[in-house]
Chains A and B, each alone.
Chain A
């Protein structure tokens, strides 16, 4: 009979429509501005720079090595090294970026800067609703706007941050132990050195 297929299809639509009143799994829409889904742990949007929370000077982990600048596929990172070295979290003198700009209108959120960074200094944010009316001023982010505390990073990517914190703490302990050993060696070697002189 002509029209049988259409009626069969309409029955399916009706089943879905009526079902949406009784079965919560059929209601898949989220009323966005009022309701928000929590972001996934792995979610990524734009990069930010990490500083450690117990650091009063808010020292960035970034040492201005410029690897991310070189590897960034759309070339949206711009770094100028500072001329002065300051001690980092294990007391080793390191450079800091004088300028660190990311043009997020060019950034394509590919996460390659995060992957190549050997210092765990740049990470991906999950913030959205970043629209602005000023295309040139507001979308070129400077060092100050990019800096976020480690606490913030722990909040948005807990598992990843815990792993990195453990690794950094271990490195710090190792460096301290090494420094102490060197100090001791110096103290014991010093009299001997004067004797040979």
Chain B
């Protein structure tokens, strides 16, 4: 199946062994989109890698920026000003909203609900992308964060508009849930399909909404708070069964929590500089050493590992991509199900091939 199959969310191939309609074995084959991301990172300057991180998980460029900026800040010992911390959190939560909204749409598209849920999700996503464009200049390839802060301050009126988008979002979620939650077709296609047992999820290193849908309470925003997440009150939604339906529900509930976070952050947004005055753009050479920084990206734990030898480019640049690691359990999820369920299960894993292949 694949690599040009419309349901594989990119160029991704699965070697499936079938017994009639039942899947008995599945081997994911990837690398079609491999473009030497890590090696390029070793060849360009620290700043030069920032726009490349946008292209990892191209739905969530701002969280990728944040993870990379955190790693370099750890390496170089830079402080992030208060206002920049708030802006980072706001943009990251907006990213989470649009990623999960899209994923809901794509998942339903994979199930055959052609268009309606996806278009409702895209209508909402468009508002968030407009916010990104007016702030960073680009809808998807934002390239916004810098070591020690953010590139530029919020344009006038941006915070008010973001607050409006956040306030309107629950209405969209109500609509989305009324449309889908009790839909019998959705229930029969997703409940009990692709069950990920809790111990397998932990052993395979699965993170993000997939892990939480299996009932494991592990969210880096709570478990290892980075940025200023420890100042806000929000809850971590957990699933019970670990099936496709739980993964969908966990994401919807997570969006509601993100809205809460956004409302709190936009209320408390302080004034001040957005970048550490010590941070310099050119000729940036951190001291020799190593750093690993991780954040809770919408798809799971995204980590950057950097080794510096004191030169302008990193000696080693490594990405821990959540999509790739979440994909390793695909065979266990699919075994025993129909071919048509493979499509739905893959959709619920939430992969972006830009990040899987790097």
Partner-B contacts on A (CB < 8 A): 2-6, 8-9, 11-13, 16, 28, 40-44, 67, 71-73, 108-112, 115-116, 124
Q: Does B199 contact A (CB under 8 A)?
A: no
Known: A6-B185, A44-B138. Contact between A73 and B282, CB under 8 A?
A: no
Whether B47 lies near A112 (C-beta < 8 A) is yes
CA distance A8 to B180 in the complex (A): 9
Query: With a CB–CB cut-off of 8 A, which chain A residues contact B120?
Result: 16
Chain B residue numbers with a CB within 8 Å of A9 are 178-180, 182-183
A109 to B51, CA, bound (A): 9
B179 x A73 contact (CB < 8 A): no
Query: Which of B1-9, B128-136, B347-355 sits within the interface?
Result: B128-136
17 contacts across the A-B interface (CB closer than 8 A): A5-B183, A5-B186, A5-B187, A8-B179, A8-B182, A9-B178, A9-B182, A16-B120, A16-B175, A40-B133, A41-B134, A44-B138, A108-B141, A109-B138, A110-B54, A112-B48, A115-B151
- Check if A12 sits within 8 Å of B143, measured CB to CB: no
A111 to B51: give the CA distance in the assembly, Å: 9
Q: Which residues of B contact A2 (CB under 8 A)?
A: 184
- Cα separation A41 to B137 with both chains bound (whole Å): 8
Interface contact A5-B181, CB-CB below 8 Å: yes
Would you call B51 and A73 a contact (CB within 8 A)? yes
Shortest B261–chain A CB gap in Å is 24
Q: How far is the CA of A126 from the CA of B349 in the complex (A)?
A: 37
What is the chain A residue whose CB lies nearest that of B126?
A: A28
B292-331 CB contact bits vs A (8 Å, 1 = yes)? 0000000000000000000000000000000000000000
Beta-carbon nearest neighbor of B186 in chain A: A5
B186 proximity list for chain A (CB < 8 A): 5
The residue of chain A having its C-beta at the shortest distance from the C-beta of B120 within the complex is A16
**A4 near B182: Cβ-Cβ < 8 Å:** yes
- 8 more A-B contacts (CB under 8 A) besides A6-B185, A40-B133? A2-B184, A5-B186, A5-B187, A8-B182, A12-B175, A13-B179, A40-B130, A110-B54
> Do A111 and B182 contact each other (CB < 8 Å), given the known contacts A42-B137, A73-B44, A73-B48?
no
Tell yes or no: B155 within 8 A of A by CB.
Answer: yes
CB pair B137 A40 closer than 8 Å:
yes
| B101-124 vs A, Cβ < 8 Å mask (1 yes, 0 no) | 000000000000000100010010
> Would you list which residues of chain B between 150 and 201 have a CB under 8 Å from chain A?
151-152, 155, 175, 178-187
Task: Give A154 to B296 CA distance when docked, in angstroms.
Answer: 40
Cα-based distance from A40 to B48 in the complex (angstroms) = 25
The answer to the question of B218 belonging to the interface, with a C-beta cut-off of 8 Å to chain A, is no
A8-B182, A73-B52 given as contacts; is B133 within 8 A of A42 (CB)? yes
Nearest A residue to B47, CB-CB = A112
Minimum CB–CB distance from B279 to chain A (whole Å) comes to 12
**Is A5 a contact of B282 with CB atoms below 8 Å?**
no
A110–B51 CB distance below 8 A: yes
**A72 to B49 CA separation, bound complex (whole angstroms):** 10
Closest 10 CB pairs of A and B: A5-B182, A110-B51, A73-B48, A44-B137, A42-B137, A40-B134, A9-B179, A5-B183, A12-B179, A110-B143
The verdict on B45 contacting chain A, using a C-beta distance below 8 Å, is yes
Greatest chain A CB density within 10 A among B152, B181, B184 is at B184
* Minimum Cβ distance to chain B for residue A61 (Å): 18
What B residues does A40 contact at CB under 8 A?
A: 130, 133-134, 137
Considering the chains assembled together, what is the distance between the CA atoms of A12 and B175 in angstroms? Answer: 7
In the assembled complex, the Cα of A37 lies from the Cα of B133 at a distance in Å of: 13
Interface centre among A3, A13, A40, A111 (most CB of B within 10 A): A40
Decide yes or no whether B223 CB sits under 8 A from chain A. no
Q: How far is the CB of A17 from the nearest CB of chain B, in Å?
A: 10
Given A3-B184, A109-B138, check contact A43 B143 (CB 8 Å). Answer: no
Nearest-neighbour CB distance to chain B for A174, whole angstroms, equals 23
A contact residues around B143 at 8 Å (CB): 110-112
A12 to B152, CA, bound (A): 41
Taking CB atoms, residues of chain A closer than 8 Å to B152 are 42
Residue contact B135 to A42, C-beta cutoff 8 Å: yes
CA distance A146 to B299 in the complex (A): 40
A residues in contact with B187, CB < 8 Å: 5
Residues of B within 8 A of A13 (CB): 116, 179
Q: Which residues of B contact A44 (CB under 8 A)?
A: 137-138
- Chain A residue numbers with a CB within 8 Å of B116 are 13
Contacting pair B282 A71 (CB below 8 A): yes
A43 touches B137 (CB 8 A): yes
CA distance A107 to B44 in the complex (A): 15
| Nearest-CB residue, chain B, relative to A159 | B155
Tell whether, in the assembled complex, residue B47 and residue A111 are in contact, meaning their CB atoms are under 8 Å apart. no
A73 CB to nearest B CB, Å: 4
Verify A111–B48 contact, CB threshold 8 A: no
Q: Which residues of B contact A71 (CB under 8 A)?
A: 45, 47-48, 282
